A and B are shown apart, each in its own frame.
Chain A
Amino acid sequence: MDSNAVSLTSVTKNFGPVRAVDGLTLAIPRGRTVALLGPNGAGKSTTIGMLLGLVPPDSGHVSLFGHDPERAVRLGEVGAMPQEGGLIPRVTVGELLSFVGGTYAAPLPLGQVLALAQIADLPDRRVDKLSGGQAQRVRFAMALIGDPELIVLDEPTAALDVEARREFWAGMRGLASKGKTILFSTHYLDEADEQADRVVVINRGRVVADGTSAEIKRVVALTTVSVTAGGEVAWLGRLPGVRRLEVRGDRVRLRSSDPDATVMALAEAGAVRNLEVTPADLEDAFVALTAKETV
């Protein structure tokens, strides 16, 4: 058995003149929770579409659990929630979910899925009468009911309120602890940071960073070292690790890739006054990564 749940090798997809995905390679071992993070139009949904066998790649290779996506879907190994759509009018939530469950060999009991998706009070509601957040949870329940090994969610929390989002992730952690492989896309940096074992940042169809959120921050994000300084300050910009210098009144903010070295150098120069060190956050890393690509 293939140890990777997902394996994309140099996949490329063009839509006319637009290169949506550009030679992307990604392997996800079984049992991991991976976030696909990127700005609008980065190619997240297209990547997910190819991974699920919905979008044929122009070139490259996709395999799920060692076979092609269509086969993995037929075998019930995959449950997925596309970014939008998938609900039909004139059926109830319970009817819809029972049908989807019935297409899998060993579905979860309806009650369990309703609870997991926090829609226990809705099974008799018509699908076309749901609020945006409720509809989103039903779509999520459709991805889970087959009890698949791989769960793929394209922006799963986009329509959820704060409370629902927290409960949603609690449920997902439960599934992850049962050994399920989870791949989700998001724009929410904190979500990628907190919920995923690994964050894959994509921009313009390419992987621009791949690792734990701590690793990504370390590689690309710049720590801010601030001191109070007067007079001529340009020399501070030449200290070790400093990439950028900003002056705000008498405060000087040094963006550093090596804050230890920067602080050491400041101390040697006797320039430590009101020292403040602010660690990078993922947001900075994300902006740095994606901005680099667009210039």
Chain B
Amino acid sequence: MSGLMGYIRLEMIRTVRDGGYVIFGIAMPVVMYLVFTNLGLAPGDRHYAAVFTMVSMAAYGALGGAFNNGTGIAEDRAAGWLRQLRLTPLTPAQVVTGKVVTGVAGVVPSIAAVLLTGALVNHVTLAPGQWLSIVGLLWAGTIPFSLLGLGNGYRLTGQTAAMANVATLLSLSIIGGLWVPTTGFPGWLRAISGWTPSNSYASLSWHIAFGEAPTLREVAILCGWLVAFGLYAVYGYRRAARTA
């Protein structure tokens, strides 16, 4: 058991010292949030913009953290670290658990940083229940994206995996309406956006933030992608295990 805790600790240390994580996962979303809301680039009145963009950017940051974790797997494999782990008494289940725990914990600072900025700088006020629901949904909703990132990490080599994950992060963020709201999109793009996992993911929390109930359609779409990305991650892992 102490082995698993030690592994989680080690992976956390590595994450915190990772410039890519700090920039893409924490600093950039906070900066973008402040820029969008204070330069009048966000939609609606100031309060609406502060709330809407807070959710967008927290979602964007969380996705950044989730994909970064997947990129780390590819680097680990290239460095022979996965093999080194197999030479310790840790079981494969412990290794995977450790990586998932680190990934799941790693998105918390991203979400917290943007929400805190919203509350403290942009004076967003929500009911405690709303805050809790948003944190919970933004947190749990990263699982499909973590799986997609892991799938890329297992399937691709170091550099390629990093590129693939950044490209996926950016396209999902943009098409999903995290950077610019989909209301400004042409009709066809808005239709596509409605089917993306990123738009469904953020929509759940947008609804909560404006006192509405999330729709079943969003939950169903996100769950569909969860299954698809889960299969992809398993496929990637099998391939990686064969060629390692």
Contacts and interface: CB of A to CB of B under 8 A. Distances in A.
A103 interface: yes
A142 B7 contact: no
Contact of A103 (B3, B80, B81, B83): B3
A20 to B, nearest CB: 15
A85 B6 contact: no
Interface in B205-244: none
A104 interface: yes
Given A88-B14, A91-B14, A99-B6, A104 B80 contact: no
A80 B87 contact: yes
B10 A54 contact: no
Interface stretch (A70-78, A171-179, A188-196, A245-253): A70-78
Interface of B is mostly: helix
Interface residues of A, number: 30
Given A91-B14, A95-B10, A95-B13, A73 B81 contact: no
Interface stretch (B35-43, B88-96, B175-183, B188-196): B88-96
A52 interface: yes
B80 A99 contact: no
A160 interface: no
B81 A86 contact: yes
Given A73-B86, A102-B2, A146-B88, A96 B79 contact: no
Interface string A33-70: 00000000000000000001110000000000000000
Contacts of B17: 90-91
Interface string B1-28: 0110111011001100110000000000
B89 to A, nearest CB: 5
Interface string B55-84: 000000000000000000001100111011
A85 B83 CA distance: 9
A84 interface: yes
Contacts of A104: 3, 88-89
B9 A99 contact: yes
A82 interface: yes
A266 interface: no
Contact of A90 (B9, B14, B80): B14
B18 to A, nearest CB: 6
Contact of A74 (B9, B18, B81, B91): B91
A87 B79 contact: yes
A87 B6 CA distance: 16
Given A91-B14, A99-B9, A78 B2 contact: no
A100 interface: yes
A98 interface: yes
B87 A99 contact: no
Interface of B: 2-3, 5-7, 9-10, 13-14, 17-18, 75-76, 79-81, 83-84, 86-91
| Shortest Cβ-Cβ A-B pairs, 5 listed | A85-B80, A86-B84, A103-B3, A102-B6, A103-B88
23 contacts: A54-B83, A54-B86, A54-B87, A73-B86, A76-B89, A79-B87, A82-B83, A82-B84, A82-B87, A85-B79, A85-B81, A85-B84, A86-B80, A86-B83, A87-B81, A90-B14, A90-B18, A91-B17, A95-B10, A99-B6, A99-B7, A100-B88, A103-B3
Given A86-B80, A95-B10, 10 more contacts: A52-B87, A87-B81, A88-B79, A88-B81, A90-B13, A96-B10, A99-B10, A102-B3, A103-B6, A103-B88
Interface of A: 52-54, 73-76, 78-80, 82, 84-91, 95-96, 98-100, 102-105, 142, 146
